[in-house]
Amino acid sequence: MATVLIVDDATIMRIQMKKMLEKLGHEIIGEAKNGAESVTQYEKLNPDFVTMDITMPNIGGVEDGIEATRRIAQFDYKAKVIMVTSHGEQDKVIRAIQNGASNYILKPVKIEKLEETINKLDL
């Protein structure tokens, strides 16, 4: 079991991700609805990994999930961040990995693919 911070600006996506992660046996210790909140929550909670929506509104100077991931990686170079992205965002995925993301998963997220991606994190 791992502790998880879920980051997504859409409430329904956070709920769906929470259900899947709990079904896989993980503990959700925090949620954030934007990048700035995710950085604050990460520093406070120190989760085993983060699921991070790649596209979110610019709040508090954190323009998206890529910038939030960069800031989390600056705080903790061992941070594990799974980017959650839509089809057609390959360039963003590459930038996210260059900025500290561990892996990515495509929407709509399927529980089997989520489990496979988590298993690659080497927790």
Confidence (pTM)? 0.95
What is the span of the domain harbouring residue 75?
3-119
- The residue type found at 62 is V
- pLDDT at position 40: 97
Q: Tell me, what's the pLDDT at 57?
A: 81
pLDDT beyond 80 at 60: no
Contact 120, 82 (CB under 8 A): no
As a whole number, mean pLDDT of residues 41-62 equals 91
The structural domain count of the chain equals: 1
Average pLDDT over residues 7-25: 97
Could you tell me the pLDDT band of residue 89, with boundaries at 50, 70 and 90? confident
With a cut of 90, say whether residue 122 has pLDDT above it: no
What order of strands is seen across the sheet that includes strand 103-106?
27-32, 3-7, 49-53, 81-85, 103-106
The encoded tokens of residue 76 equal 């903790």
Burial string for 82-94 (b: 16+ CB within 10 Å, else e) reads bbbbeeebeebbe
Q: Can you give the CATH number for the domain in which 68 is found?
A: 3.40.50.2300
Nearest to 9 by CA among 49, 47, 43, 59: 59
* pLDDT number for residue 58: 82
Cα–Cα distance between 37 and 14 in angstroms, integer?
14
Average pLDDT for the chain: 94
Band of pLDDT at residue 10, cut at 50, 70 and 90 = very high
User: By three-state DSSP, how is residue 4 classified?
Assistant: strand
